[in-house]
Structure formats: structure tokens, C-alpha cells
Amino acid sequence: MKTQVAIVGAGPAGMLLSEILHHHGIDSIVVERQTRQYVQSRIRAGVLEQTTVDMLRQYGLADRMEREGHAHDGMKIVWAGRSSFFIDVRQHVGKRFVAYGQTSIQEDLFAAADRRQARLVFGAANVALHGIDTDRPRVSFEADGQTTTIECDYIAGCDGFHGVSRKAIPATVLKEFEKVYPFGWLGILTPRPPLPDIVYANHPRGFALASMRSPTMSRYYIQVPLDTRIEDWSDERFWEELKARYPADLAAAIVEGPSIEKSIAPLRSYVAEPMSHGRLFLAGDAAHIVPPTGAKGLNLAFSDVHYLSRALASRYETGRSDLLERYSDTALRRVWHSVRTSWYLTNLLHRFPSTTAFDQRTQEYELEFLKSSHSAQVALAEQYAGLPLEQT
């Protein structure tokens, strides 16, 4: 098989990259080790920054989002079961968010790929990258009992943290930065109306988050120890614990319902540098992981895709390679900004096992400062909304 760009991974990053390249007349093949049904059913993030919303609109992928998405203006922070304030992103920086589940985005991207009869390979085993530091890179895989090789000009590694793409970069080149947090999030998805706002809670019992996927679908999380077993948490126990971490008025407003998905996610920050080597370019979770605090993961993946698709289009349309050469540095500037924001919010809102009385007081007064300072709220709103995409 031959193509211009071989894309490893059919998640949102890989499929959006394929779609944008198609708009520029650039051919691609997407290789995915899982089945299409598995990829399409994964429950992931769903709070989209303005830049992500604009990208989906630009490439004709926003019709369903416009109908089903839920726009909101910022986030509320409550702590100790009493104090609260609202970070009004729309007022401070003129941007809005849209709650629209990643599952729906994945369905929209697959539908767009079907319309253009994109070449997608699912159930690919033993995927391997070859010759990434030459001008003739290749991707090999096994499917339907046969070994196939894709000859291409470039490879885009969009296959997530556990994929093969990042591992193809020599250890002498790759630098890894990681912070593992001593807790996880127990989350449920329920078909019930969400609270009007996204609400983060800092409570002596631990962190909690009330989020949304649509006007009829809610996502809730609570902080739990890393050794927590999901089978120990019935729906009834979850709702009781969640409501205990919110002030009485907010707890009363939470609409309980059956969990249609329940999972525990450990929290970590991770960045791989550089995000490119030879003819291989990483995007999304293949290059970086952020804690879900701040909802940066999917948005970061899409900003990577923006920079990579722009660089590839420049290469094929004008012959310029400078944007490809600068891709890693350009993408990492936004990556580290978002990593820092997620790190800050994680430290601000969670209760750490090793916290001292001094640490607890400083955290409380950081929250007091945010509540009372207009300038601090503007600064946080700018970070929470995400940096604008670089235009050059």
C-alpha cells in the first residue's frame, strides 16, 4: 500500500488529521489496532475549548455539535462545603466552552470518513514503524492473516500513550517528563440533566467534579485512593459520597441516576520531547498526558493536529519544510502551558495524603485569593480557556 501520510491510531486525533489532510488534497491511510466498535464506544472527555469548536466548524464537522452540544461560560469552584466563586471565562477573555462528548466526536469523524471513502484499517496487529529517519518510512501490520506494509512520505503517531509510535523514537533522543499523583478519579456517566455549570469542589473528604456531556447527560467524579476497587462502589454509595463533598444547595440540585459507565482513572502528567523524529510526528496522548483537571487532553490533541496538518499542507502545497521542522517546538509551547494549568488546578483542588497543616492553610488562602482578586480570576480564565493557536 502507498500513501502520502500514514496515520497510526483512529482516535479523534488521527481521524481529525486524516479529515483535514483530505481537505488539502493529501492522501492518508489510518491504521488502528482496535476494532471500529471499540474505538467508537470509548468514554472520554467532552469539554471543548473555543479553538476546538472553531476547528470542527471550519472543517464541516460541527452540525451535530451545534444541535446537541451544551455551551457554558466557565467554571464554579467551591471548597470546604461553604465558599464558592465563578470563573467567568466568557466575560474575562471572550471565549466559551461546549460540552460535547468525545464519543459523539468520534462518531462524527467516522461518518465524515465514510462519506469520503477514507482508507481505514481496523484490527491491525503487530504494528511497527520502519525507516523513520530516512526519506522512505514505512508502517507494517498484520490483518486478516496477512502482513501488509504501507510506504509513505510521513508517519503521524496518534496511537495514544501505550502505542508504538513514541517507542520508535530512539531512547538517546527522547526525553520524558512525568509526575504521578497519589490518587485517582472515580467517575460515572448518567443519563440525567447536569448542573448548569461545571463545578469543581475542594473538600476535606476529597476533590469532586460535576461536569456534563450534553443537556441530558452528566459526568461526575470523586477523588479516591489509588488502591480503590470499583466493585466496592455501588451507585448508591457514589451518590452519597459525591453529595457530601458539595454545599447543601448544590447537592440538592444534583439529579441522581443509574451509571451507564463507571471507571477509575489514575492521574498523571507526562510529556515526551521532542514530538518528532525524522519523518515521524507525534500528536495527542502519544506525546503527552494531562490530569483531567481542566479538561485539556482532547483539546491539546486537536491543537497538535492543527499544527501538524498546517505543516504538512505547507510541505505539499509550497514545498516548504520549515513548519514541519518547527512542529515539535510549536506544539510543545501549548502543551507545556496546558500541563502547567492542569498541574496548578490539580494541586489547588485536591487533598494530598502528605499534606501538612501548613500546606492546607496555603491552599485555602490561595482559594481565598482567587475568590477576592479580579486580576487572579482573569489570569486563571485565560489559562483555563487555553492559549490561542499560533498563526505563524
By annotation, the residues acting in catalysis are 72, 200, 292, 296, 384
The three three-digit cell numbers of residue 26, written as one number: 493529501
Separation CA 306–CA 211 (nearest Å): 26
Q: How far is residue 356's CA from residue 64's CA, in Å, rounded to a whole number?
A: 48
64-97 as b/e: b if 16+ CB within 10 A:
ebeebbbebbbbbbbbebeebbebebbebbebbb
Contact 85, 77 (CB under 8 A): yes
Please say whether the beta carbons of 384 and 294 come within 8 A.
yes
Which cell numbers in the block locate residue 318? Answer: 509550497
Strand order across the beta sheet in which 138-143 lies: 125-130, 138-143, 146-151
Cell of 302: 486537536
Say which residues have a Cβ less than 8 Å from residue 120's Cβ, sequence separation at least 6.
10, 29, 30, 32, 36, 113
Residue with grid cell 492518508, as numbered in its chain: 28
Q: Contact, 190 vs 348, CB < 8 A? A: no
Distance CA 385, CA 97 (A): 8
DSSP letter (8 states) at residue 193: P
CB 61 within 8 A of CB 109: yes
Tell me whether residue 140 is exposed, middle or buried, using C-beta atoms within 10 angstroms of its C-beta: 0 to 12, 13 to 18, 19 or more: middle
Torsion of CA 28, 33, 36, 42, to 10 degrees: -110
Neighbour tally for 5: CB within 10 Å: 24
Of 290, 299, 291, nearest to 386 by C-alpha is: 299
* Residue labelled with grid coordinates 505539499: 316
**CB contact set of 369 (below 8 Å; sequence gap of 6+):** 376
DSSP state, residue 158: -
